[in-house]
A and B are shown apart, each in its own frame.
Chain A
């Protein structure tokens, strides 16, 4: 394991990068970038000619020393933000990224509030009934 896909006689459609760490990064990025010609597929999954080209360009970028974010920016500049399956944090997408955390915090806040209110009024219904019965008994005795 760990050895790269060396080729004996076959021809790889997109040549793997010689550095395994770089190739692993390339494979991850391939799944994050949308094939611009397809309905809804990342370039990793598509056999469309443009997807092959994009996979090649992606590897060229990584080989030239670009970071993951630089590669993302490269594709977003050319094809628009819609090419990225992982929307970059910006004015368009902050609500998307904030949503789960805000919702979680809001619900936890609500539950904590309710628990506190319940703790402040420890009287359960049974307690209330018991107390009412006791009070009624006392009134009758008087």
Chain B
């Protein structure tokens, strides 16, 4: 399949997406014919973008270097997985992936959106068509991945070697599924506003899509963090780098969105903030893509840079924001569903508190990330905003949210009493204080590590307490078991995700606060002490992989003559790209890791060749990744909720009470 066919398919898809947008937005009430037409257009556009994507992927697999994009990013010697991953490992190809997913979400709404009211579905698919059309237009006019080279070069320039890694091969697709998934939440928000119905039935439709986007973002960010941990060789997994922040902001917005939507769905409250969060989330997704792609901000992870095309992305974000917030300003008074009243102490209020802290946290990350840009534009000042700033601002904000978290699920909707709940939780709170104090006293941890450990325990134990309480455990195991079996999937999902947050917090704070590290330089056969352990470099061998040369060390770590781990850290060199990378050696012990990265060799003053080794002890590091996994799993479990899949017959339920007064007369 030639890329010209793909190019043609993409142009055709662009035209169909425009038609889908026009028909969906303006003719949604013109009856079943127009509504079905919108769905068929969405399906056709998706198939065409899929053809375009397949044609580019095929060019990568064939190593067709007459395609400029393939020549710039691939190489014959590259393993097949990375040839395929190369399709989205560059600017143009990743935009094609973005378009594929945008069209895919519209098609999914056409296939699985049967529980929506037909006109809401048609409008949502219509707005999504506009998103697809803008993305396809951006790709076709500024970032064409199908351009040919004449004469074709005999060889390619290879994919950035850092990206040639299993976790990172799948990191961009998940991240994009999340980013673009938020585009469908955006489409639903706009469709709801056009309909003038952002009510409980609408929020019920919003929740699964927002949840799916959030799950994808969680997996994508988790993969990225895990990759940074074992590939970059710094012993860390999160650096508050602008590119990381770019993916983290939409994640925070999506998190607030799913909480907000659950209140809107169950109680008809927080509908306005659900709309605003859906719009904000998608705008942050585009902004994130802009930050990554434009090189406006220096980052170690910026892989494909182009300031001019970046500016166009910023323009697209402006279009999405103006359309979204403009419609909100114009239509929000038109909502025919009155907001449901609730008292100040209630589950609704707790969810507002959650949104408050998540929102301020996301805004802080955004402001800190772009502040150097703003300052430079204002008065040419040069400052760097790094981890110390984010730790000093983000951590306290989230701590306050975490403090409130175990209380929230115990509160009743609409009107609740706080005192008895606090009384119930007081024993637990004392226990968590003790855990924090123990961390401080027994392990000599820094104070904020102790706070983090106490809070992590608070989240896990508080969430488990809620489970006991819901099961009415005092009434005996029979009742408990029956109650838990009747517990809806979405509640189980919440429990899992909240435990995941606690597990993550425990791992993150203990690993960051109590990590041990040393940079040492060893010749073969030499050893050095590392916090009561000994590190010996046994051997260093040379070798080669499919498309790289390598140097592999054998490092033995012992304690009291007992071998704790034998690690084989590697240093790789990719001749085509002319870049070195590292593969660290990790020895897992419980949830903690011994971690060694092999550096460059130097000839010392005594003429002995010595290798620089970075050695780390990362306590409870695995809890970080388990925590992210549990959060994503919680999302998945929540997504299996029967109510979400089938969808309540919203229209009929609404009309029932309305007809009652008529009958009474």
Contact = CB atoms under 8 A, between A and B. Distances in A.
Contacts of A12: 518-521, 528
Give the most central of A40, A86, A124: most B CB within 10 Å: A40
A27 B363 contact: no
B519 A6 contact: no
A107 interface: yes
A85 B298 CA distance: 13
B356 A108 contact: yes
Interface string B519-537: 1111100111111101000
Give the most central of B531, B532, B534: most A CB within 10 Å: B531
Interface residues of B, number: 55
B413 to A, nearest CB: 15
B598 to A, nearest CB: 12
B360 A107 contact: yes
A122 B569 CA distance: 68
B385 A10 contact: no
Contacts of A80: 382
A132 B220 CA distance: 54
A92 B381 contact: yes
Interface residues of A, number: 49
Contacts of A11: 520-521, 604, 610
Nearest to A27: B517
Contact of A8 (B367, B527, B610): B527
B234 A82 contact: no
A34 B372 CA distance: 14
B359 interface: yes
B166 interface: no
A7 B364 CA distance: 43
Give the most central of B367, B386, B393: most A CB within 10 Å: B386
B113 to A, nearest CB: 30
Contacts of B382: 80-82
Interface in B499-547: 516-523, 526-532, 534
A16 B604 CA distance: 19
B300 interface: yes
A9 interface: yes
Contact of B389 (A6, A13, A96, A108): A96
A8 B381 CA distance: 47
A60 to B, nearest CB: 17
B381 A81 contact: yes
A115 B298 CA distance: 43
B599 interface: yes
B303 to A, nearest CB: 12
Given A85-B385, A86-B392, A125 B360 contact: no
Q: DSSP class of B's interface residues: helix, strand, loop or mixed?
A: mixed
A117 interface: no
B341 interface: yes
Q: DSSP class of A's interface residues: helix, strand, loop or mixed?
A: loop
Contact of A39 (B299, B368, B383, B517): B299
A34 B298 CA distance: 13
A30 B600 CA distance: 21
B397 A8 contact: no
A120 to B, nearest CB: 13
Contacts of B4: none
Nearest to A41: B300
A113 to B, nearest CB: 13
A14 B104 CA distance: 53
A97 to B, nearest CB: 8
B386 A86 contact: yes
A47 B612 contact: yes
Nearest to A16: B518
A92 B375 contact: yes
A115 B384 contact: no
A57 interface: no
A45 interface: yes
Contacts of B359: 107
Contacts of B298: 39-40
27 contacts: A1-B516, A2-B531, A3-B532, A6-B528, A8-B534, A9-B527, A10-B522, A10-B528, A10-B610, A11-B610, A12-B518, A12-B521, A12-B528, A13-B520, A27-B517, A32-B388, A40-B298, A45-B234, A47-B599, A80-B382, A86-B392, A92-B379, A93-B375, A96-B385, A99-B364, A107-B359, A115-B344
Q: Nearest 9 pairs between A and B by C-beta?
A: A85-B386, A86-B388, A10-B528, A82-B382, A5-B518, A9-B526, A125-B338, A124-B341, A100-B364
Given A34-B384, A87-B389, A92-B381, 10 more contacts: A5-B518, A12-B521, A13-B521, A42-B387, A80-B382, A81-B382, A84-B383, A104-B360, A111-B352, A125-B341
